[in-house]
Structures are given as C-alpha cells and as structure tokens.
Structure 1
C-alpha cells in the first residue's frame, strides 16, 4: 500500500492525525517487546515490527476512540499496542505454518532464525498482549480481545483443514477470512469505542466497519496474489497458488469447472502436482468463468458496507479518513 508524496493515502493521513498517540504506542511496544533474559525475543520482534508496517490496526483503536469523543489516553494506547502484538504474533505463527520466505518485502523471521524461534516469540507476544489488555481494567474490552484471539486461532485451524479440499465453500472461506483478518480489525474498532464510553449504536457501527473492512482487505489481498506485484502485496505473486490455498477466485472457478477443469484443479490444489505453466492455466480458467471479477465485486461490496456503517457515527475528520480507507483497500484492484 505505497503512495507517492503527491498522493497520500488515507493511512498516511490517519498516521499524521494520530502521530502523537502513535509515538506513545510505539514507546509501549518497544518497552514490552524487551526481554531481560532472552535477547532473541526483541531481535525477532523488531525484525517484523520495524519492517515498515503501517500500524493500521492500532490506529483503528485510536481513531475509534477519537470519533466517539474521547481523546486517546494511556488506556487507549495500551489497547492499540495490544492489537499490534496480537497481529505480530499471528504473523510469526502464520509464516511458520505457511512456510513463507518473504514478509513485507523482507525475509521472514523463520527463514532468518528458525521455526522454533518464530513460534516461541509469537507465544511471548501473545502473553504480552494479554498483560496489556488487562491493564485498562475493562472486562468488556478484555472479552472482545480475548474472543478475537480465539477467533483468529480458530480461523487458522479452519483454513488448515479446509485447505486443498475442492469441496470448500464460499461460506467456509468467509469464516476463514473473518478469523484470520476481520476479527482483529473489528476488535480494534469495537474496543476503541467501548473504552471511550460510546453508546451501543456507535459500538455496533464501529464493529461492523472493522468487520467489513477486514473482509474487503483480505479479498483484495487474495486477488492481488494472482495479479499484483511483489512490492504491492509484500510477498511473491502466486504464493497462494503454490501453497495450494483455496481463496475466493479459485473457489468460484472450481464451482463452475467442467470435468477436465476440475481434474486440473484436483491435480494442482489437492494433489500438489504443479508444473511450469500451471499458474498461467489457473489464471486462464479464472478469467474464463469471471471468477476474478466476481470476487472483486465482493470486495467492493464489503468496502461499501464498511463505509455505510460510519453513517451512524458523529461527524469527525477521522470518520472521513476511515471512509476513504474502505475505498482505498479495494482501489488497489483497479
């Protein structure tokens, strides 16, 4: 999601508006990722946290608080840091599960160190996240973030069991996406609203926004894997195909496949018997059945849902930035 200086994206504008709060969040992150006895923990954590990520999820916590009329305080900042630690922990674990070699344009931690280090440091960050989320003293916020953590893990296990199974449905895909991406987006926006003392309608609106934004974001990422550049998506184009992941465009193409096409998908996805030219063949089949276009329309629809949810919130400059963000996550597909 890179933007040039002349055309700054909504994430950049969010970062500018929240710069003071985010400086405090980054201080908390640096303090909490330290370890007196295990120097590998800050080494591995710093490699990922300082790799140029946009800190979108913690900014969503802070933005929700501001929109709901409560200037971000130390509790909001701790929750923002909590969300970033949960996100970083899941990335460390995901890269081990997926055997990934690149993240945000850099070698993954499991490649630079080893799988054991990535898993254990991820565990440490989850523990730190739970320490932080307790500190504001809100049982409701603790419930939101604890449930999100469980949903994330559940989504990853579901993806593992549904992967490489051509019987996987769009409904299952959506459950996976809600787990691996949308759960933390919605937890960020919902917890920010709750800790700000927002009313039920505002809390519900911000939950809906985060959920829909996360789904649109993940569908867009899955589409870009088949048509983006490595710099745009932070990984190698075609990784999902090589890892035999059943993302939305593939599920759509499989649903419309004739017998020879289904045999192709069975060979490359279920059996993992991939050869040179198979990625191009997969792209041709998705184009033949309009699978990419249909998935793109889904991404745009979820972005519209996110944008519409904001109508229930007070007028605020950050509300407009969040609306622009919903448009921006899918504008990468144009």
Structure 2
C-alpha cells in the first residue's frame, strides 16, 4: 500500500509519539525493543492518525485529539505485545521473559485507565473497557477458529477505529444512536484501510462506499470536518486505483 495522507500533520503525529514515550517512561528501556517491528505495521501508523481525524471532524480540540490518539496507540501497543505470546503448541517456553511480556502488557493497559483520569475523560471508562474486551475476544477468534481475513480484521482491528469515532461522539455530546452511526463511519474507514493494506481491494472499496454514503447525508453544522473526511476517502480511493 502506498503512503496515504491521513490528514494530521507530521507535527501532530510526532507530538503523539512524544506523549506516548513520556507516558511509558518508567519502563521505556525495556519497551523500546518492541517498537521497530510494530513501526512497519500500517495499523500502528494509521490508528493514531484516524483518532486525530475523528476528533477533528467533530470540531473537538487538537489537544484532546492528540491525547486520545496516544491512548489508542497505547492500547494497540499493549495488544500487540500480548499477541507476541505464543502457546504451548507453538513451543512457547514458560520463561522469565514470557512472564515479563505478560506483565508489561497488563501494566500498559493499566496506564490507559490512568490516562483517562489524567485527561478528565473518565466518562469513557466503560467504552474503553468494552473495546479492550472486544479486541481480546477477537484475538481468540483469530487464533482458535477458521475465519476469512475480512472477518478477522472486523474483530481484531476495526474496533480501534470504530471506538475512536464513538469516543469522539460521546465527548461531543452526541445521542447514543448518533454516536453509534459515527462509530460505524470509523469502522468502515478502518476496514477499508486494513483490507487495502492486505491487498483485498474489492472489499476495501465496498467499505469506502458505505463511509461515503453516510457522509453524504451529513451537514457541516453536525460534522464541521465533513469535507476533510471526504478528502480522506478520496485519498484512499486513489490508492485503490494505483
């Protein structure tokens, strides 16, 4: 997949990375080694960018968007650390290193709860708990059953995007039904990006059609960043045609 212009400036994403490192500073020397392989993953780059977009589209502050992008990046980081743990069938040895990996992943999840308090967004606690639960259930599905790639992406990666948009809607004061609809926009954008990255172009295009159809029904009063959202869809569509 070509490099997509997700919208947020490099300055904003660099700030997210600074906040991310600072929040994990007590254990950064031990954690830094996990970063290089993840940095090559599209999800690691796209999730923070889409979170910032989700908040920007609703006219929420840049500062809040950056803080929330850090939270979602942190959850993704912890999830990927846990994914690195194999099982007995894969020859995973029960070593001190394994124990550390499990504990450090749990520690990072705990940091997210603290970040919610530090950013005065504790009203999102139930939502974040539901998201983490959904992602963990999705990983069980991924490794313990035979599913299509689209189904696996829907339960392991799409929740990051849908809950990013739902959290923005809740902080904006949307009614529950409207928040669910905005979350669906995040789901469709996330599915399109993940499937495009995996080379499933037709399926990715289908999700873009759904995202655009919803945006066509919105106005600039409800969604101040509607034009920018349309721009992102067009950017992804251009990548599909390359």
| TM bucket, shorter chain | 0.7 to 0.9
Deviations 1:81-131 (A, max 9, x none): 110011122223334449xxxxxxxxxxxxxxx765554433332222222
Distance 1:218 1:52, change over 3 A: closer
Q: 1:77/1:332 Cα in 2 relative to 1: closer, same or farther (>3 Å)?
A: closer
Q: Distance in 2 between matches of 1:2 and 1:142?
A: 35
The size of the alignment, in residue pairs, is 229
Give the aligned partner of residue 145 of structure 2: 162
For normalisation by structure 1, the TM-score amounts to: 0.57
Match of 2:156 in 1: 180
Cα contact 2:51–2:69 (8 A) shared by 1:
yes
| Cα distance in 2 for residues equivalent to 1:52 and 1:155 | 18
CA–CA separation in structure 2 for the residues paired with 1:52 and 1:297: 21
Structure with a larger share of its residues in helix: 2
- Take 1:330 and 1:215, find their aligned partners in 2: how far apart are those partners? 13
SS at match of 2:169: helix
C-alpha distance in 1 between matches for 2:142 and 2:237: 23
Structure-2 change in CA distance of 1:70 and 1:119 (3 Å): same
Match of 1:323 among 230, 234, 237: 230
Secondary structure (helix, strand or coil) at the match of 1:314 reads: coil
Pair 120,310 (structure 1): closer, same or farther in 2 beyond 3 Å: farther
Unaligned runs of 5+ in 1: 4-8, 99-113, 225-294
**Which residue of structure 2 lines up, in the alignment, with residue 249 of structure 1?**
none
Aligned partner (choices 179, 204, 220) of residue 314 of structure 1: 220
Question: Alignment partner of 1:10: what SS?
Answer: coil
Cα distance in 1 for partners of 2:213, 2:117 equals 32
Q: 1-side partners of 2:127 and 2:191: how far apart?
A: 18
Once residues 60 and 308 of structure 1 are traced to their aligned partners in structure 2, the CA distance between those partners, rounded to angstroms, is 19
Match of 1:131 in 2: 114
Q: RMSD value over aligned CA atoms?
A: 3.3
TM-fit CA distance, 1:317: 7.9
- Separation in 2, partners of 1:325, 1:97: 37
Give how far 1:132 is off. 1.3
Mapped pair 1:69 → 2:59: yes
Q: CA deviation at 1:46?
A: 4.3
Give structure 2 stretches of 5+ with no counterpart: 88-96
Pairwise mapping of residues 101-250 of structure 1 onto structure 2 (< 5 A)? 118-163=101-146, 168=147, 175-198=151-174, 200=176, 203-222=179-198, 224=199
Report deviation, 1:157: 0.1
Q: CA deviation at 1:189?
A: 1.5
1:25 aligned to which of 16, 20, 41: 16
